[in-house]
């Protein structure tokens, strides 16, 4: 069965779903330490750019290696690209605000 939907549309939906899921999870975790509104604003503010970079990198690897069809062997390179891509930005943010990860 073939889905008659453009690849670009599928990638945009994947990025939006990844962003929504990440923001919801972060908001849920942060809501244990602060009120819901503050937790949501923190979740959106602290990692939106790195989440977008991660999603775009993962989808780009998928398209380059398989043409947009996810198969099991493409998952490790996708996950690696999604992990490595936002590292410089996250490192910069931590240094800028003098924060530590541990």
Closest to 47 measured CA to CA, from 82, 84, 89, 100:
89
Ranges under pLDDT 50 in the chain: 102
Single pTM value for the model: 0.75
The reported pLDDT for the residue numbered 101 is: 54
pLDDT at 102: 46
Place of tokens 């996950």: 79
The DSSP secondary-structure symbol of 86 reads T
Q: What is the mean pLDDT of the chain?
A: 86
Tokens of 100: 């530590």
56's CB contacts (< 8 A; 6+ apart) are 15, 85
Residue 61 has φ and ψ, to the nearest 5°, of: -60, -40
């Amino acid at each position: 069965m073939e889905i008659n939907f453009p690849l670009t549309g599928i990638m945009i939906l994947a990025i939006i779903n990844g962003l929504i899921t990440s923001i919801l999870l972060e908001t849920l975790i942060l809501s244990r330490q602060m009120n819901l509104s503050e937790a949501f604003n923190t979740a959106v503010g602290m990692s939106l750019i790195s989440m977008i970079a991660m999603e775009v990198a993962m989808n780009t690897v998928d398209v380059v290696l398989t043409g947009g069809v996810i198969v099991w062997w493409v998952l490790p390179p996708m996950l690696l690209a999604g992990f490595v891509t936002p590292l410089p930005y996250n490192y910069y943010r931590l240094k800028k605000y003098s924060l530590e990860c541990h």
